[in-house]
């Protein structure tokens, strides 16, 4: 199939230019996973960059058809290893919707706390790795230090640092102790001022701005037409957030802003806007976690369900606002104890579709900035 796609990609030589076909990846430190980009260049100028995915396909959707509803949760952690909590969340929401299971109020609050901490951890990798990709190594080390604090909290909360399996059909696996609550508040008190320090270190650095501002501009029309979601869509100035547009859980009880691109240092929708929207989102996540801890209600954390859960014939689509935007599950049941069909929608897959158009005319080094600003994660693309 790829051979057919590439049949027209033949280097052309004229007296004034000579094209080359280059492979970037699949083993490349700036592709954020096993991704391959076939690049046609004239010197340093890109004429076409064609994403080639499939190196990490694991058949998760097919595995779901052979796994009982309640035991599929660990597989969802592998959809996006940087935002595993959101994959947990969207899957259990789909099962709860089909089975008419109501989650206790305390369980919903704990889901919000866990997800927003995971959003911060994911954005730390995204923004830190972008700086690293374009040559600034120090900021990434600072962000990894902060992420380790979140990893320690997650380990205390659910027993894992990366692939959490914290959500359960009907609630969450563990309650939050006073010690963990104190640790979260201590981290927030420390982290919020650190964001401003980080901005002084790199976000407002002149060289960093020149590498991202006015580079790989995505217009609002293109952002919508190519199906971009999350920070990539909001970076183009469109205020669309699933937590606000299609409220789920208890998100409608919290007061938070939706950061959008404003042309902070250049043109609306450029790589810098996509980067800085994520910086601003971390501040909003801190605010949401504080509100959730302050208003955390007493009660059960999980509704008891049958171990061998069977769901009558039905279908549904549920979605959450992951760190990379809309993550959705289309779930079909047939009366058995396992899904008849499960389909996953992710933000990284939709982001890849726009690379070919936006990369035309960029320098090779700017393609690195574009990929980093889109925050794609390989497992989300292939599944």
Structural domains in the chain, sorted by start: 2-52 (no CATH), 60-375 (1.10.645.10)
pLDDT at 188: 96
Strands 314-322, 17-24: parallel, antiparallel or unpaired by DSSP? unpaired
Q: For 26-30, 134-138, 232-236, 248-252, which range has the lowest pLDDT when averaged over its residues?
A: 26-30
- C-beta atoms surrounding 48 within 10 Å: 17
pLDDT of 128 above 60: yes
Q: What is the pTM of this model?
A: 0.92
Q: What average pLDDT is seen over the chain?
A: 91
- Tell me, what's the pLDDT at 56? 84
Asked whether the predicted pLDDT for residue 195 surpasses 90, the reply is yes
Q: What is the pLDDT of residues 299-356, one digit of tens each?
A: 999 999 988 899 999 999 999 999 999 999 999 999 999 999 999 999 998 898 899 9
**pLDDT of residue 211 exceeding 50:** yes
Contact 153, 176 (CB under 8 A): no
pLDDT grade for 6, boundaries at 50, 70 and 90: low
Judge contact between 176 and 157, C-beta under 8 A: yes
> By C-alpha distance, which of 69, 68, 67, 88 is closest to 77?
88
User: Is the pLDDT confidence value at 16 over 70?
Assistant: no
- Return the minimum-mean-pLDDT range out of 21-30, 182-191, 236-245: 21-30
Determine the pLDDT at residue 17: 63
* Alpha carbon 356 to chain centroid, angstroms: 21
Report the pLDDT value the prediction gives residue 3, as an integer from 0 to 100.
Answer: 47
Angstrom CA distances, 110 to 116, 307, 318, 323, 326, stand at: 10, 22, 19, 17, 20
- pLDDT computed for residue 8 by the predictor: 53
List, in sequence order, the alpha helices (H) in the chain.
2-5, 60-64, 73-76, 84-99, 105-133, 138-158, 178-198, 206-212, 220-225, 230-234, 242-245, 271-294, 347-352, 355-358, 364-374, 378-382
Look up tokens 């509803």; give the residue. 69
Convert the pLDDT of each residue in 216-247 to its tens digit. Answer: 999 999 999 999 999 999 999 999 999 999 99
Between CA 2 and CA 24 the distance in angstroms is 16
Task: Spell 163-177 as b/e; 16+ CB within 10 A means b.
Answer: bbbbbbbbbbbbebe
Question: Who contacts 360 (Cβ-Cβ below 8 Å, separation ≥6)?
Answer: 46, 47, 48, 49
pLDDT tens-digit series, residues 70-122: 999 999 998 988 999 999 999 999 999 999 999 999 999 999 999 999 999 99
The mean pLDDT of 235-260, rounded to a whole number, is 95
């Amino acid at each position: 199939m790829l051979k057919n796609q590439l049949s027209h990609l033949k280097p052309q030589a004229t007296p004034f230019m000579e094209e080359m076909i280059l492979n970037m990846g699949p083993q490349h430190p700036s592709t954020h996973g096993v991704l391959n980009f076939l690049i046609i260049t004239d010197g340093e100028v890109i004429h076409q960059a064609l994403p080639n995915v499939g190196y990490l396909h694991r058949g998760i959707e097919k595995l779901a058809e052979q796994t009982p509803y309640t035991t599929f949760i660990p597989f969802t952690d592998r959809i996006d290893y940087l935002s595993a909590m959101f994959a947990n969340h969207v899957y259990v929401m789909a099962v709860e919707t089909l089975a008419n299971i109501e989650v206790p109020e305390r369980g919903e609050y704990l889901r919000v706390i866990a997800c927003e901490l995971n959003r911060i951890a994911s954005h730390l990798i995204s923004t830190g790795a972008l700086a690293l990709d374009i040559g600034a190594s120090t900021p990434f080390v600072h962000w990894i230090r902060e992420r380790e604090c979140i990893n320690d909290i997650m380990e205390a909360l659910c027993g894992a640092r990366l692939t959490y399996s914290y959500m359960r059909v009907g609630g969450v696996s563990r309650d939050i102790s006073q010690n963990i609550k104190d640790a979260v508040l201590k981290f927030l008190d420390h982290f919020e001022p650190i964001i401003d320090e980080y901005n002084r270190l790199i976000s407002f650095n002149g060289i960093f701005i020149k590498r991202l501002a006015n580079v790989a501009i995505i217009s609002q029309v293109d952002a919508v037409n190519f199906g971009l979601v999350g920070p990539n869509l909001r970076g183009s100035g469109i205020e669309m957030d699933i937590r606000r547009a299609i409220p789920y859980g208890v998100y409608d009880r919290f007061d938070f802003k939706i950061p959008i691109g404003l042309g902070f240092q250049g043109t609306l929708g450029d790589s810098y806007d996509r980067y800085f929207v994520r910086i601003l989102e971390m501040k909003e996540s801190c605010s949401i976690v504080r509100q959730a801890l302050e208003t955390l209600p007493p009660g059960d954390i999980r509704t008891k369900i049958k171990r061998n859960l069977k769901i009558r014939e039905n279908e549904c689509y549920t979605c959450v606002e992951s760190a990379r935007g809309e993550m959705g599950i289309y779930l079909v049941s047939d009366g058995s104890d396992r899904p008849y069909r499960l389909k996953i929608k992710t933000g990284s897959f939709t982001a890849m579709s726009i690379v070919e158009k936006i990369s035309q005319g960029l320098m090779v080094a700017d393609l690195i900035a574009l990929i980093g600003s889109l925050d794609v994660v390989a497992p989300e693309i292939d599944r």
